């Protein structure tokens, strides 16, 4: 529902951003469907970029006029997770969730507080965000590409680079080839995987995945995807498998199609309470590694500018990734297109 709400001035350490573009990501869909929890009412949108309009007291990380990519995990730099180099898991951010870092909101309507998804809430013309959630680029890249670097790029490319650490010459299978999965494919290509198998239930997504570096495709709707991936890898399975949809079934399939001594990386967020069963003996006997990754284990402040450079040097194909543009009024149409299985990523433009 598109409606007017009140937005406070930025407080100390906060920034008012005029949103330029916001990506249409499945994570917002999870909240809309109740598959994930967020305090309501809330303004969604967590994949965004814009221009700093105004800064609150004490802000030093950015200034008015900066082009910024928004991070949905503003990292405090002081907690145990940040100090250990896992700023994507910042303890202070996790403890305050959809509130600002002081535990209050800047969004209101009729005396009621409205929550901020990921402290970003960029399905709106303006957002107040923590300064630590603003990553200045000033690269002049178009806002839709910058927005992608706020979520699907670090999540997908980061999963290959920082979480799984895909080795050159290895084989990779990617289960789910939407906006995030295509970035996993691009990451695997960048890291010189020898074989990149795209797995999806839609032929259109599989065809599209070839543009981003997939070397083979497996239609999971036709026949057991585990058997098909094994056939393509000489019976072994893939060295690295990535789950990029978010269901117990696809987590299990990603585990089962992983080779001996391989790594299974779960990127997708399954509905709350989902449990995937794996063969406990196989885990040991085949020395598999099963891990999750949040925000691609990327450190936004340093890794997002790197992703901008990778795009600018032609090694990340974001130009083909963003295929649809909408106005904010068309947001339901945008999510309808995702449900219909349209390929690539959509972006709301402001």
Residue of closest CB approach to ligand APR: 178
Residue 246 interacting partner from ligand APR, Zn ion, none (CB closer than 5 to 8 Å by kind): ligand APR
Residue of closest CB approach to Zn ion: 25
Terminal-residue alpha carbon distance, the chain:
17
For position 25 contacting Zn ion by CB under 5 A, the verdict is yes
Residue 245 interacting partner from Zn ion, ligand APR, none (CB closer than 5 to 8 Å by kind): ligand APR
Nearer to ligand APR, 134 or 184 (CB): 184
Indicate the helix (H) or strand (E) that contains 253.
helix 248-256
Q: Which of 19, 21, 22, 27 binds Zn ion (CB under 5 A)?
A: 27
Give the rounded distance of the alpha carbon of 240 from its chain centre. Answer: 19
> What minimum distance in Å lies between the beta carbon of 261 and ligand APR?
24
Residue 236 interacting partner from ligand APR, Zn ion, none (CB closer than 5 to 8 Å by kind): none
For position 151 contacting Zn ion by CB under 5 A, the verdict is yes
Please give the order of strands across the beta sheet that includes 289-292.
Answer: 216-219, 195-200, 171-175, 238-243, 258-266, 289-292
> What minimum distance in Å lies between the beta carbon of 295 and Zn ion?
9
Alpha helices (H) along 56-178: 80-83, 91-96, 143-148, 152-158
* Helix (H/G/I), strand (E/B), else coil: 346: strand
Name the site residues for ligand APR (rule: CB under 6 A): 25-27, 30, 155, 175-181, 199-202, 205, 220, 244-246, 249-250, 267-269, 338, 341
Sequence-separated (6 or more) residues with CB below 8 Å from residue 21: 48, 49, 50, 142, 143, 144, 146, 147, 347, 348, 349, 350
Tell me how many residues contact Zn ion (CB under 5 A): 4
Between CA 74 and CA 120 the distance in angstroms is 9
Binding region for Zn ion (CB under 5 A): 25, 27, 47, 151
């Amino acid at each position: 529902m598109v409606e007017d709400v009140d937005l406070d001035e930025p407080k100390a350490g906060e920034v008012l951003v005029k949103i330029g573009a916001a990506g249409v990501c499945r994570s917002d869909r999870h909240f809309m469907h109740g598959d994930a929890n967020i305090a309501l009412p809330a303004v969604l949108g967590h994949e965004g970029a814009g221009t700093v309009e105004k800064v609150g007291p004490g802000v030093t990380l950015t200034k008015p006029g900066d082009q910024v990519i928004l991070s949905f995990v503003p990292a405090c730099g002081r907690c145990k997770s940040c100090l250990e180099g896992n700023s994507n898991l910042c303890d202070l951010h996790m403890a305050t969730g959809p509130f600002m870092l002081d535990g209050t909101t800047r969004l209101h309507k009729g005396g009621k507080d409205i929550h901020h998804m990921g402290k970003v809430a960029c399905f709106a013309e303006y957002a107040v965000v923590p300064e630590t959630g603003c990553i200045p680029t000033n690269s002049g890249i178009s806002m839709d590409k910058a927005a992608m670097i706020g979520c699907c790029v670090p999540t997908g490319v980061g999963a290959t680079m920082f979480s799984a650490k895909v080795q050159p010459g290895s084989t990779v299978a990617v289960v789910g080839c939407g906006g995030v999965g295509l970035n996993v494919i691009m990451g695997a290509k960048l890291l010189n995987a020898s074989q990149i198998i795209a797995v999806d239930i839609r032929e259109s997504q599989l065809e599209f995945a070839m543009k981003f570096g997939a070397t083979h495709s497996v239609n999971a709707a036709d026949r057991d995807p585990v058997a098909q991936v094994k056939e393509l890898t000489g019976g072994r399975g893939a060295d690295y498998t990535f789950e990029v949809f978010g269901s117990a079934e696809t987590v299990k399939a990603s585990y089962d199609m992983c080779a001996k001594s391989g790594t299974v990386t779960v990127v997708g967020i399954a509905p709350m309470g989902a449990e995937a069963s794996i063969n406990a003996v196989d885990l040991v006997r085949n020395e598999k590694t099963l891990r999750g990754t949040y925000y691609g284990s990327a450190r936004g402040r340093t890794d997002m500018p790197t992703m901008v450079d990778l795009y600018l040097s032609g090694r990340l194909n974001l130009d083909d990734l963003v295929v649809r543009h909408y106005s904010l009024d068309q947001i339901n149409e945008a999510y309808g297109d995702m449900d219909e299985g349209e390929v690539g990523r959509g972006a709301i433009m402001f």
